[in-house]
Every structure is written in C-alpha cells, then in structure tokens.
Amino acid sequence: MNSDVSLGLAHEAELRLRNAGATGENFWDPISKSEPLAKKVVAFVMEASRMIFVLAPDPTRDMTGWTCVEPVKVAPGEFEVVIEDFLEEGEPYIGGEEMVSRAKNRGIRTGLRHAEAMLREQEKIPVDQRKYVLIFPEVWQDPRGYRGVFYLFWSGERWNLDFRWLGDNFLFSFRLVSSRKYQKKP
C-alpha cells in the first residue's frame, strides 16, 4: 500500500464498499456492474480526498514574546483547506505586505491555528502540495519586532512550521492557504 494513503481511510473505504454490496473474490465487480454503486464509490472518494482539519480555539505553542497584530477571527471547528496562488500573470514574486493585502482583498483569513491544525494531521495534505510553501496570512510580530506570517514547508520527510518576515519576497513557489467552513454532505 502507498505510504501516502492512510490505513484508516483505506479500511473505511473497504467497509463502505462491503456495506454497499462489494463482496468476496470479485470485490470490484459489483462496482463495475452497478451505476448507483459506482456513483457512491466516486462520492466517497471525493469526500475522502477533501482536506478537512479541526481548528483549535487557541494556538497550541508557547507564544511568549509574540504579538498577533492582525488576528484572524474564526470559531473553532472543522474547516476545509483550499490552496490558492497570489501572484498575477508575469510576476515571479511580490513583497510580503502586498501578499497580505491581496489575501485580505480575497477574503482569505487563515493563521497560526490553521497551520497547527494542518501539522497535527499532515498526512491529509496531498503529496502534490509538497512542492509549495503554504502561507497563512495572519500577521504576527516576533520577539525581535519583525512583522511576518507563519508558513508550512515540506522538509523531505515531514511538514514543518516556520515564520517569514514580510520584508522578504514571496515567490512563485508559495501558495496561500484559504479555508472555508466544512459542510458535511448528506
């Protein structure tokens, strides 16, 4: 089994398929012969592939000396991640303050708590996102007085959290993390 697939997710898929009528040696035959069953399987796969995380009420790390200067106000609960580009055509990079401004204009409100939620269940972040630096545009001031944003990056083994000064450039390999309230499908 591919290590990028959660064993729990695979088990859940098998249980749902068996409950929907897939049995025995010909596990996949019922799917290929039944359009309603095939639609259920596709719906399940689509739902399972969504990036759903749980937002904690407060940051879980020690933020002594840090100040959130532009806080993101969102209620705890489940949220779905959407990854978005912030550069306009022909731009290889922009400054951090402009990136934050564009995020605000688009209504993107994610921050440290979103990043921490994604770190807690980083196996849900699709492999194809590893090529990007995932930016959360909530603005913080570090203990030295620098304004910046938190971001996740793939180290080759796992996702890691770091802080980037807004005086730096934000490149074509960076993406904004947007969220929307998770709405369970009936």
| Segment 121-157, tens digit of pLDDT | 998 888 889 999 999 999 999 999 999 999 999 999 9
- pLDDT(1) > 50: no
SS3 (DSSP) at 183: coil
- pLDDT(46) > 70: no
Locate the domains of the chain by residue range.
7-48, 52-181
**Phi and psi angles of residue 138, each rounded to the nearest 5 degrees, phi first:** -65, 125
Contacts of 121 (CB under 8 A, 6+ apart): 53
Of the two residues 175 and 180, the one the predictor is more confident about is 175
The answer to whether 178 and 108 have CB atoms below 8 angstroms apart is: yes
The answer to whether 125 and 159 have CB atoms below 8 angstroms apart is: yes
In the Cβ-directed half-sphere of 130, how many Cα atoms lie within 13 Å?
A: 13
| DSSP secondary structure of 108-172 | ----HHHHHHHHHTGGGS-GGGGGSEEEEEEEEE-TTS-EEEEEEEE-SSSEEEEEEETTSEEET
Q: Which residue has the tokens 């030295």?
A: 144
Contacts of 156 (CB under 8 A, 6+ apart): none
Which of 8-12, 111-115, 116-120 is the least confident region?
8-12
Which pTM was predicted?
0.74
Secondary-structure class of domain 52-181 per CATH: alpha beta
CB neighbour burial string for 124-133, b if at least 16 within 10 angstroms, e if fewer: bbeeebeebb
Q: What is the dihedral of CA 23, 25, 30, 31, to 10 degrees?
A: 100
Confidence grade of residue 2 (pLDDT, cut at 50, 70, 90): very low
Mean pLDDT of 177-183: 75
Q: What would the pLDDT profile of 63-109 be if each residue is shown by its tens digit?
A: 999 999 999 988 888 888 999 999 999 999 999 999 999 999 999 99
Dihedral sign of CA atoms 95, 82, 163, 109 in order: positive
Confidence grade of residue 162 (pLDDT, cut at 50, 70, 90): very high
